[in-house]
Amino acid sequence: MRIEVAATLQDCQSIDMTGKTAVVIDVLRATSVIATALHNGANAVIPAETEEEARQLFDGFPPGSALLGGERNAVRIAGFHKGNSPLEYSRDVVAGKTLILSTTNGTRALHQCHQATETLAASFINISAVADYLSNKLNDTVIVCSGTAGKFSLDDALCAGMLISLISDRRTVETDDLGKLVLQFYGSDTGNITDKLQSCTHLKYLQSKGYQHDIDYCLQPGMLFVVPAIKEGKMVKA
């Protein structure tokens, strides 16, 4: 398997995803929300690029069968039921419902992968499940680090490096230069995940907004065994 890595969602435009599996990573926090919601019984998660698109999709559902979730600049969108904290999407909130999610980076990144044969959502909390799933694939993979407001983000890069490492434990892997770099970052002897991300700009921003509990939750590797995959525009369990 050959693995390419996109540093931000904007870099998807320069990668040919035809015939490949795309894996979108937005550790803090969209792909962690998606994995959590599906694990807790949501029927599906629909990624929306804009607030307007999310509201239009929501209006098409029967009353009580869908939720609006999302953020802009880490703040819940006005009028939406929930924000972008995975801790908000407990089983009693999402079970049997469809979550329509619109975020600053992650849901936009998912839309950038429309040419891929299959698109998955990965984060630390479901990384083992995604690695197992990809290890059985024959086609090549593109890992998309969503980034933060168009800029490279260490949290997504570290997760990408861990994912490549886990797949490498299961099968032979070749990577591009950025793949080698994130793999080296993950393998560096500088402590655990939290230690490696002490200087992460996006993590520090979320801390300043009072989201430490979200961070603690999102940095727990392999906690959920769920692989979100897009089927007909909706993310469901693969």
| Tokens encoding 138 | 């024959």
Residues 9-65: tens digit of each pLDDT: 999 989 999 999 999 999 999 999 999 999 999 999 999 999 999 999 999 999 999
Our measurement of the distance from residue 127's CA atom to the centroid of its chain's CA atoms, rounded to an integer in Å, reads 10
pLDDT of residue 238: 96
Phi, psi of 10 (to 5 degrees): -65, -25
pLDDT of residue 199: 95
Report if residue 234 sits inside a domain: no
Mean pLDDT for the stretch of residues 162-182: 97
**H-only helix segments in the chain:** 30-39, 51-59, 91-94, 106-111, 127-135, 154-168, 177-187, 193-196, 201-208, 212-218
In the predicted structure, residue 189 carries a pLDDT above the cut 90: no
- Tell me the pairing of strands 66-72 and 75-76: antiparallel
Report if residue 21 sits inside a domain: yes
pLDDT of residue 133: 98
| Tokens encoding 144 | 């998309």
Report if residue 236 sits inside a domain: no
Q: In the Cβ-directed half-sphere of 17, how many Cα atoms lie within 13 Å?
A: 24
Report if residue 114 sits inside a domain: yes
pLDDT of residue 85: 98
Report if residue 237 sits inside a domain: no
Question: Residue 190's pLDDT band (boundaries 50, 70, 90)?
Answer: confident
| Tokens encoding 66 | 């869908």
Residues 66-85: tens digit of each pLDDT: 999 999 999 999 999 999 99
Give the residue numbers spanning the domain of 160: 2-229
Three-state DSSP class for 134? helix
CATH of the domain at 196: 3.90.1560.10
In the predicted structure, residue 108 carries a pLDDT above the cut 90: yes
Q: Which residues pair with 6 in a beta bridge?
A: 144
| Distance between CA atoms of residues 36 and 142, nearest Å | 23
**H-only helix segments in 88-126:** 91-94, 106-111
Domain count, the chain: 1
| Distance between CA atoms of residues 125 and 223, nearest Å | 5
Report if residue 235 sits inside a domain: no
Report if residue 141 sits inside a domain: yes
Residues 191-233: tens digit of each pLDDT: 899 999 999 999 999 999 999 999 999 999 999 999 999 999 9
Q: Which residues contact 198 (CB under 8 A, 6 or more apart)?
A: none
| Tokens encoding 215 | 């961070």
Phi, psi of 17 (to 5 degrees): -100, 5
- Preceding omega of 91 cis (within 30 degrees of 0): no
